[in-house]
């Protein structure tokens, strides 16, 4: 098989992986990541009894030896790397979609462009305890988690190989998580991927046409006619967007114009932590701990000073599945009007 090679050993980690590639589909122009090694990921969900019988959770305190060596941690001064004593711990993804070590596998081919799937893929373990969700963390711990997002995004932004870094979370089996222990992920890539690129292009075009940031205009519009506002304070606006793809889709947007999350001052990040905790608490309460994804869209690396873009977090509850219509048309059907979703999340009642 062209694409398979033998398992290799690095830092004591032996695993059978295959060469990963970025590949472009000639009929759609879409890029995908072919990452055969990820098929071997363990799936671990269930009650604590089921867990006790199964393999130990690699993200629990005391099991640090089950992950690759840590990259960064918020830990007690007297504790040692890769031992207990941490509050937030960042490790390489053991089944990465992209790696720094990938050999150049791309061949020049006019019909089928491909290239080595270079990148970084990290896991941010958001608590040493297993049975917590992000919404139930203490305020202190929540701040620590969000400051660790900024810390890792800043660090990866210094690496000249990366052009975009995406921080995202999969909460619950129904949102694609493979481990239930609370964690988010961070992927750094050599190019800006399609979804943020599309937003950046539209924001740039809007700025060129009007001299204004489209997100600033949106914020003004939504706060002035608050049918889609869930809550707001001095720093952040939580709203259901006009053309939400998902039922109860929610955005969290800083009110001040800020292109890059990584450049946000500590006060903004603290305010963000408070708003994010509040919206997750409401989503859990109103929708009954639904599976959800969230991600931060921010300026590409090294473009932080530009004026036209505005970072934001988008939360996508996964109450229905994308199906044949969505995959076949590219358009989503949302069966809850954003105005109704905002009312429900605003009042805390369904």
> 226 by DSSP, 3-state: which?
helix
Q: Is 329 in the site for a copy of itself (CB under 8 A)?
A: yes
Q: How far is the CB of 243 from a copy of itself (least distance, A)?
A: 4
Tally Cβ neighbours within 10 Å of residue 117: 24
Q: How far apart are the first and last CA of the chain?
A: 54
Q: How far is the CB of 264 from a copy of itself (least distance, A)?
A: 18
Tally Cβ neighbours within 10 Å of residue 41: 12
Q: Which of 123, 137, 156, 214 binds a copy of itself (CB under 8 A)?
A: 214
Residues 63-122 that bind a copy of itself (CB under 8 A): 97, 111-112
Q: How far is the CB of 295 from a copy of itself (least distance, A)?
A: 3
Q: Give the burial string for 58-68 (b: 16+ CB within 10 Å, else e).
A: bbbbebbeebb
Stretch that binds a copy of itself, among 44-52, 65-73, 200-208, 278-286 (CB under 8 A): 200-208
Out of 121, 181, 183, 310, the active site residue is 183
Rounded distance, CA 68 to CA 122, Å? 10
Return the number of the residue (64 or 313) whose C-beta is nearest a copy of itself.
Answer: 313
183 among known catalytic residues: yes
Q: Give the burial string for 150-172 (b: 16+ CB within 10 Å, else e).
A: bbbbebbbeeeebbbbbbbbbbb
Rounded distance, CA 252 to CA 265, Å? 17
Q: Is 257 in the site for a copy of itself (CB under 8 A)?
A: no
Residues 258-277 that bind a copy of itself (CB under 8 A): none
Residues 2-61 that bind a copy of itself (CB under 8 A): 2-4, 18, 23-39, 41
CA quadruple 214, 222, 167, 23: dihedral positive or negative? negative
Q: Which of 15, 65, 333, 347 binds a copy of itself (CB under 8 A)?
A: 333
- Tokens, residue 14: 């032996």
Q: Is 305 in the site for a copy of itself (CB under 8 A)?
A: no
Return the number of the residue (86 or 219) whose C-beta is nearest a copy of itself.
Answer: 219
Return the number of the residue (160 or 331) whose C-beta is nearest a copy of itself.
Answer: 331
Phi-psi region of 283 (alpha: psi -120 to 50; beta: other; left: phi over 0): alpha
Q: How far is the CB of 25 from a copy of itself (least distance, A)?
A: 4
Q: How far is the CB of 78 from a copy of itself (least distance, A)?
A: 35
Tally Cβ neighbours within 10 Å of residue 131: 12
Return the number of the residue (36 or 85) whose C-beta is nearest a copy of itself.
Answer: 36
Residue with tokens 């129904």: 174
Q: Which of 293, 299, 301, 308 binds a copy of itself (CB under 8 A)?
A: 293
- Tokens, residue 145: 């988690």
CA quadruple 139, 140, 145, 147: dihedral positive or negative? positive
Return the number of the residue (142 or 311) whose C-beta is nearest a copy of itself.
Answer: 311
Residues 134-193 that bind a copy of itself (CB under 8 A): 166, 168-170, 174-177, 185, 187, 189, 193
Rounded distance, CA 137 to CA 162, Å? 31
> 7 by DSSP, 3-state: which?
coil
Return the number of the residue (79 or 198) whose C-beta is nearest a copy of itself.
Answer: 198
Q: Which of 140, 339, 348, 350 binds a copy of itself (CB under 8 A)?
A: 339
Stretch that binds a copy of itself, among 61-69, 148-156, 255-263, 338-346 (CB under 8 A): 338-346
Q: How far is the CB of 17 from a copy of itself (least distance, A)?
A: 11
Return the number of the residue (82 or 227) whose C-beta is nearest a copy of itself.
Answer: 227
> 315 by DSSP, 3-state: which?
strand
Query: Which residues are marked as active site?
Result: 183
């Amino acid at each position: 098989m062209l694409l398979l090679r033998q398992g290799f050993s690095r830092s004591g980690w032996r695993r059978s992986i295959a060469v990963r590639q970025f590949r472009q589909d000639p009929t759609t122009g879409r890029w995908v990541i072919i990452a055969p090694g990820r098929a071997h990921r363990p799936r671990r969900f269930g009650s604590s009894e089921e867990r006790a019988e199964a393999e130990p959770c690699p993200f629990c305190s005391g099991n640090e030896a089950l992950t690759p060596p840590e990259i960064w941690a918020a830990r007690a001064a007297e504790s040692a790397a890769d031992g207990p004593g941490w509050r937030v711990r960042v490790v390489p993804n053991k089944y990465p979609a992209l790696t720094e070590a990938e050999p150049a596998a791309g061949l020049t081919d006019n019909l089928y462009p491909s290239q080595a799937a270079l990148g970084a893929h990290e896991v941010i373990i958001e608590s040493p305890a297993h049975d917590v969700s992000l919404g139930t963390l203490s305020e202190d711990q929540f701040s620590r988690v969000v400051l660790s997002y900024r810390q890792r995004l800043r660090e990866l932004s210094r690496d000249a190989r990366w052009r975009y870094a995406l921080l995202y979370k999969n909460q619950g089996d129904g949102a694609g998580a493979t481990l239930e222990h609370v964690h988010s992920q961070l992927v750094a890539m050599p190019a800006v991927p399609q979804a943020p690129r599309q937003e950046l292009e539209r924001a740039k075009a809007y700025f060129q046409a009007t001299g204004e940031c489209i997100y600033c205009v949106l914020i003004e519009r939504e706060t002035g006619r608050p049918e889609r506002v869930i809550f707001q304070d001095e720093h952040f606006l939580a709203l259901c967007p006009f053309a939400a793809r998902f039922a109860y889709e929610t955005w969290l947007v800083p009110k001040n114009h800020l292109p890059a999350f990584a450049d946000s001052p500590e006060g903004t990040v603290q305010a963000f932590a408070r708003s994010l905790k509040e919206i997750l608490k409401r989503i859990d309460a109103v929708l009954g701990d639904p599976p959800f994804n969230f991600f931060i869209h921010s300026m590409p690396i090294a473009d932080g000073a530009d004026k036209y873009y505005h970072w934001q977090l988008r939360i996508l509850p996964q109450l229905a599945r994308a199906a044949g219509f969505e995959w076949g048309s590219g358009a989503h059907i949302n069966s809850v009007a954003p105005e109704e979703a905002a009312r429900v999340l605003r009042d805390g009642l369904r």
